[in-house]
A and B are shown apart, each in its own frame.
Chain A
């Protein structure tokens, strides 16, 4: 097997991976970034509405208010040390992206344009804040391209179209690198690295209806789980209130930030009933549930009463063309309506994974061990959507994901620099180190099989959609677990027809489905175990939040067992925000 040696291996070239890569390359380290797609194809490109930071360009602002909103938005499950760090760093990382060249929209005075987003307030729960920095409705695209451009300048080494297969560890549990599949050649490659950083993004493809790209298959989570690392808070999945009915494509919360609102079949602006103060800009979990209830109770729109409408024509032609041009493009193509004239049909759609690989606020992966629930795994880091820091807790606020990428991309890179200084050499890779990865690859060389990958893939998505959606209940979840077990057994019996070495996407999709299966199991098992409702996890049979028993993080192990660890309620430097009833 071909071998290469680097100081750092970064897996994933989205916003988080490339922010970290830039920091490390600029500092003179030898960095390999592996990505299964060309960097600007990463899913960060699809982020629309913006990045939240308390710049105060439009209304007076303070990072502490942002912190309060984020803690409240997380339904108090977020770790307050990490949330403080993220909100405090917000303005700095946004200004830095501006200096890097990101083409932010501008206010008349030349400063970065900001728009209101859901769950934002001034003065700890007061009036609506205007905190989300935007490049029209293409902020993720602008950010991802800017980061790729700076990495070209920094001469970062990219391995493009390399699919990471598994981590390489030694007997002491240190992570020494990764085995990847060169998709063009069909050959494995061993990357030896003193530090390995997972930045593989989300896994929204476990659901049938998702805003996520095809590539969001939880590859980093699969690798972590197979390496014995538990996955944190996987029951918390964000259903975005406004996915295009049928197609699932995202319509930014920026539409409601710019003044758009939702109406039901009776033409009623129903969010007024669910969130009298914030209305359409309540937390995403609140708005998604409200839509689901309207539809469920027969107040949906259209002949099947199966969606609601997002009205924005009143915002005005010029504003829409200037601030929401991408949304108009999507509505025309995927909903066949021109939002300048007609409302867009929308439904809640799986969007974002709040859970992930457990880390502390400087990006190091932490697992329960002899010394306590958060012992660092030497040499392993995780950032961005694949990680659970946890800043989003039980529900993420809009605009906080792009912020998460930059802040923790930078923080992890800084910690890696310290780690590299303390570990000038890495231990040798044991002979059997790559075995797990090579066995995974060899498994798909098998020619006999009674099942097809595409069938199992589709069925898994159907199971998750109908058994682990917006509203959940014990019997439905248990039935889902049994069905998913059956699907997993079918995957064991599956084979692919394509055995070419060259750009074999059938093999790639089979390997991706294995990762999704790990994610789906962690999700539905964690959901069945948590007998309360908090943030995005809504149980019909346990409708209340239960802080006495459940103010804790879930840790789902690959073997099916579940563990818990406490929430970090103590911030770094400021007083804690104690849990209270969450209303908007």
Chain B
């Protein structure tokens, strides 16, 4: 099985290059991450992030045959050879498949991703009906892998100004939470030509999300709410 992997070590290389690796194996049940570990056992200089190996920690996002995804839940059998692996697009490369995620996290932090409720907390839980809680399904499951945001051209052009799909999904997660009291501040913060409105609904994010989440729909709901509050 042939792999073609993006390599760049700023310590040693003048410019990036693609390196081929061959593994004698049957795809069988293996995930792409399993193959990368076998490659790394041969060539320990290949750098990548990995942790949970079950698609919940978000470490091993990369560009796989042109599409962003998680190596640990991408079956080898689903991939055409040669399997071409590159770092996530739109973020500075630190080394090989490892990118600098800071521009992504900075946008995430900018939406105040925490519950704001200024009432004194009750002695027990705040109540929320199962229907109200169901509004958070499809939102809170985000693993911050950046597959969506780094597949979005609007983020590539304006990473410092456009919040991006992952951040906006979380903005909606807090607006949608009946326990949160900061809806109007949150909307004010996003009412800006760039932060929210650079989304043109091309839905690359939906296609890229390895967890099956739908940032475009969440962005639509934020926009809808903004329209409603002005009329």
Contacts and interface: CB of A to CB of B under 8 A. Distances in A.
A145 B109 CA distance: 12
A103 B136 contact: yes
A329 B54 CA distance: 10
A467 B63 CA distance: 40
Contacts of B96: 503
Contact of A41 (B29, B57, B177, B179): B57
Interface stretch (B7-15, B188-196, B197-205): B7-15
A215 B128 contact: no
Interface in B110-135: 112-115, 117, 121, 123-130, 132-133
B140 to A, nearest CB: 5
Contact of B133 (A105, A150, A214): A105
Q: Which of B56, B59, B112, B174 has the most CB of A within 10 A?
A: B56
A409 to B, nearest CB: 18
Contacts of A141: 56, 141, 143
B26 interface: no
A318 interface: no
Interface stretch (A106-114, A165-173, A425-433, A548-556): A106-114
Interface string B69-95: 000010100000000000000000011
B41 interface: yes
B184 interface: no
A498 B127 CA distance: 54
B131 to A, nearest CB: 9
B9 A98 contact: no
B51 A110 contact: no
Contact of B128 (A55, A110, A142, A509): A110
B218 interface: no
A453 interface: yes
Given A99-B121, A103-B140, A213 B94 contact: no
A502 B10 CA distance: 7
Interface stretch (B42-50, B155-163, B219-227): B42-50
B54 A249 contact: yes
Interface size class of B (residues with CB under 8 A): 35 or more
A101 B44 contact: no
A41 B47 contact: no
B165 interface: no
A502 to B, nearest CB: 5
A135 to B, nearest CB: 8
A454 B44 contact: yes
A163 interface: no
B9 to A, nearest CB: 5
A43 interface: yes
Contacts of A214: 50-53
A37 B51 contact: yes
A330 interface: yes
A497 B45 contact: yes
A103 B177 contact: yes
A502 B11 contact: yes
A41 B123 contact: no
Nearest to A37: B51
Given A101-B179, A152-B109, A454-B44, A106 B51 contact: no
Contacts of B52: 41, 43, 45-46, 213-214
Nearest to A105: B133
A497 B43 contact: yes
Contacts of A496: 44
B53 A213 contact: yes
Contact of B47 (A99, A249, A504): A504
A500 interface: yes
A41 B105 CA distance: 13
Contact of A149 (B48, B113, B136): B113
B44 A498 contact: yes
A168 to B, nearest CB: 27
A497 B44 CA distance: 6
A109 B128 CA distance: 8
B215 interface: no
A213 B114 contact: no
A106 B128 contact: yes
Interface of B: 9-12, 29, 40-41, 43-45, 47-59, 73, 75, 94-96, 98, 101, 105, 109, 112-115, 117, 121, 123-130, 132-133, 136, 140-141, 143-144, 174, 177, 179-180
10 contacts: A38-B59, A46-B57, A150-B114, A334-B54, A336-B29, A452-B44, A496-B44, A502-B11, A503-B94, A505-B48
Given A104-B125, A106-B132, A109-B127, 9 more contacts: A41-B51, A45-B52, A101-B115, A184-B94, A213-B53, A214-B50, A496-B44, A503-B94, A505-B47
Q: Which 6 A-B pairs have the closest CB atoms?
A: A101-B115, A110-B127, A506-B44, A498-B45, A149-B114, A454-B41
